Amino acid sequence: MKRWNLQIELKSDFCTTTGEAIPGMLNSKTALEYGIPYIPAKRIKGCLLVAGREMADNGVISQEALFRIFGRPGLERAEGIRVEDGRLSAVPGYLFGRENGEVVAAGEYERLLKTAKERTDIDEQLLEDIFTGKRTRTALDKKRGTAKNHSLRTVQVVPAGILFTSRIEGELGEEEEKILHSCVKGLRHMGIGITRGMGEVRCTLKKIEYGNEEVKESLSILKEFPKETEISLSYEIELEQPVVMAGGQEDGLNQIQASAVSGALAGMYIKMNSLGDSAHEDESFRRIFLRDGVQFGNAFLKRDGIQYVPAPKAFAVPKEDRKAWFNSMAGGQAVRKKQISSQICLDTNGLYLAEPHKEIHFHHARPADRGIGHALNDRAEDTSVPTGQFFHYIALSKGQTFAGSWRGKAEDILALTKCLEAYQYRLRLGTSKTAEYGNCRFRILEAVPVRREHREPAAGQQDEDLARGREWLVWLLSPLVYRSPSDGSYATGSDPLIAQMSKELNSKIEQIDSVCSSTVINGYNSKWRLPAAACPAVSAGSSFHIRTAGDVEAWEIEDMRWGMLTGRGCGQVKAVPWEDCAGGKIMDDAPAELGNVREDKGPSVETDRFFNAVSEYREKRLQQEEAARNALEWLDKQDKNAIPSASEISLLIQMLKGRDGRPRDYEAIRKEAERISGDGKRARILNFMKPCGGKSAEFMKQYLEAAKWKARKREGEDE
């Protein structure tokens, strides 16, 4: 796997709009994360592809080579390069009020973002003010030759000089790598308004050599288990990018499905062992992935070290009091109720609720005719060719952690962990994995042999995993699939589960009550491009109140995967002693579990320098704002007509910015203002700019901005 850093330097103002707006203030917002601009990966990959298409159209490269680099739609597996978001890498000093041409490095982006959120003296709005500006434009009325009514548009832009870095990786040959370099050189414009002086960029591609920066997990955590030993491996998946689960299924929006993880690992296994299209003929592959040799479990939300799981259908809240919960199978609650749909953590203090963070991403697929700059959707007269589409994804937000477990023979688990190590413990999950989405980090927590016998808790030990009793609430964390032994048809009742539990636990089990529903498990076979076989199942959350003939421990019920399709995550359950789930209070925030929260690295030297520059600028700006306001008030008192029109001040602001975006000094602006035609207008502007003589660019910026809004206010009053 080859990797490169794509460096994107802005040579002019830039806006990569996300479809968001602020009514009355901004018509188009650029992509921001906590006030820090970034370039979405889909935009980067799309622009590289456009540069490649232009070369292919002119016969410089072949269309087939372009497919090998960027992939083609409709493939069963992703191919070509994978592109990550362009993250802030360096900032020109002028944005911090420094006029010596200094460039301030941003350091590692994740540390930068974490530090920005933790610093109490720096807020999101300050960062947005530093790294973005506003640019207005209008449409002309051809008959009058003036601005068309209601055509004023304000665009949020990222100023020139900022440097972004995007990570690209892929398995490319020498020819494809040369073409990728050519595409990077041909990429000259990005974002909107590229025919209006915006979006000019300079791009360079630098290869990354594998080295000490790659953190590889040790396989010693698996110990020296005999090959046939059945073990349970606990893991965490940290989302480094938003993840979009296939089809937008409801469960996929709240958890990482086992089928997604097993599919990603199957792809790794096939590549590592060069199985190609003959993977199904390999005995190890069939055992691990096709015959439930490894039982891949769903991964559920883990926050502050606390594990959350889907709520049982038996739990509900009164509609009049959402702060109290009860078990509907326990009786005594004749009230209007609502099921708990959140994920839960139940302990002796109460019931804690949590929901995975989600976000909406908007995207624009351009028409085949590149002369059309917007999606036509169904408005096009001829839809036989791609006419573009505006669409959105609902994604799990990055930065979240999901935890789960696998179960299987030590030999098979070890083969999977070797695949993970070869890929630096990175996974690509969900859809649209080649750009902007799906990058995750896999972390092994522990691997232990599957327990076979009871164990007594140590003195003073309180471990819910050692809970013991005869009366239980058992609910499904994932769908449950069974076939009837009589005719082979799918069964959706509870009888097969009770029968299997009685056999495995070696204890007669009585079902007292249940609250359950059914669902259908289906999917899509990408190899054959056909829907996968659908099968009825008992849906997740279905709850059962059971009583065993003898004492049973919680792990005996939870560690088993019940029913069929356990390799796809089906049959996971949670068991709680009946006396612990009668009802109680819903707590707002669960306390962090001590010793189970990963320590994050502190800020680096570069990050410290970056935020020192931000803090210095904040103090300097406050001083310059006050000085500019005083100078403007003094000028206004001397002459009520000294402040020019808003359009004239906007022209001065453009003069201040310069053609390369870097601010110019007072003398350069004065000399350019002296070339203005019209004696009255020239004299008014020169007189207005006199308070800026000898002042810094930051003072002039604040002076002009304050004057522009003052002029607009007066013009509005005159109308």
Give me the helix-helix angle, 174-186 and 63-70, nearest 10°: 90
Highest mean pLDDT among 194-208, 364-378, 627-641, 642-656: 194-208
Contact between residue 535 and residue 490 where contact means Cβ atoms under 8 Å apart: yes
The residues near 252 (Cβ < 8 Å, ≥ 6 apart) are: 245, 246, 260, 430
pLDDT at residue 78 is higher than 70 = no
The residues near 311 (Cβ < 8 Å, ≥ 6 apart) are: 339, 340, 341, 342, 343, 344, 541
Q: Which candidate, 374, 401, 409, 407, places its Cα nearest to that of 388?
A: 374
- 40/30 Cα distance (integer angstroms): 10
For the segment 625-645, the average pLDDT, to the nearest whole number, is 86
> Pick the residue with more confidence: 97 or 266?
266
Q: What is the pLDDT of residue 460?
A: 47
- 597/647 Cα distance (integer angstroms): 55
CB atoms within 10 A of CB 440: 27
Percent of the chain with pLDDT over 70: 89
Mean pLDDT, the chain, as a whole number?
A: 85
Q: Which candidate, 575, 540, 585, places its Cα nearest to that of 554?
A: 575
C-alpha separations of 529 from 46, 76, 278, 339 in Å: 26, 8, 17, 38
For the segment 546-571, the average pLDDT, to the nearest whole number, is 90
pLDDT at residue 491 is higher than 50 = yes
Q: What tokens does 186 get?
A: 């041909």
Q: What tokens does 232 get?
A: 């349970």
pLDDT at residue 182 is higher than 60 = yes
Q: What is the pTM of this model?
A: 0.83
Residues 503-546: tens digit of each pLDDT: 998 889 999 999 989 898 877 666 556 677 788 999 999 999 99
C-alpha separations of 370 from 191, 367, 375, 384, 667 in Å: 15, 6, 11, 16, 44
For the segment 477-504, the average pLDDT, to the nearest whole number, is 87
Calculate Rg over the CA atoms of the chain: 31
> Pick the residue with more confidence: 1 or 249?
1
Q: What tokens does 90 get?
A: 């360096």
CB atoms within 10 A of CB 387: 20
> What are the φ/ψ torsions at residue 672 (nearest 5 degrees)?
-70, -35
CA dihedral 613, 618, 620, 623 (to 10 degrees): -170
Poorest-confidence range of 149-158, 198-207, 360-369, 696-705?
360-369
Give me the helix-helix angle, 258-272 and 410-422, nearest 10°: 80
pLDDT at residue 598 is higher than 80 = no
- 306/220 Cα distance (integer angstroms): 26
pLDDT at residue 330 is higher than 60 = yes
What's the pLDDT band for 674 if we cut at 50, 70, 90? confident
The residues near 348 (Cβ < 8 Å, ≥ 6 apart) are: 580
DSSP string for 276-317: GGGGGG-HHHIIIIIS-SSEEPPBEEEETTEE-EEPPTTEEE
CA angle 508, 514, 518 (to 5 degrees): 115
- 317/600 Cα distance (integer angstroms): 37
Q: What is the DSSP letter of 610?
A: H
What's the pLDDT band for 170 if we cut at 50, 70, 90? confident
Q: What tokens does 262 get?
A: 């097993």
Residues 684-693: tens digit of each pLDDT: 888 888 888 8
- Strands of 324-327's sheet in order across: 309-310, 343-347, 350-354, 583-587, 324-327, 315-318, 337-339
Q: What is the DSSP letter of 256?
A: B
What's the pLDDT band for 548 if we cut at 50, 70, 90? very high
Q: What tokens does 119 get?
A: 């610093």
**DSSP helix/strand/coil, 706:** helix
What's the pLDDT band for 214 if we cut at 50, 70, 90? very low
pLDDT at residue 681 is higher than 50 = yes
Q: Which candidate, 345, 404, 407, places its Cα nearest to that of 576?
A: 345
Q: What tokens does 496 get?
A: 């097969």
**DSSP helix/strand/coil, 604:** coil
> Which residues is 491 bridged to in the sheet?
482
Euclidean distance between the first and the last CA atom of the chain, given in angstroms as a whole number: 65
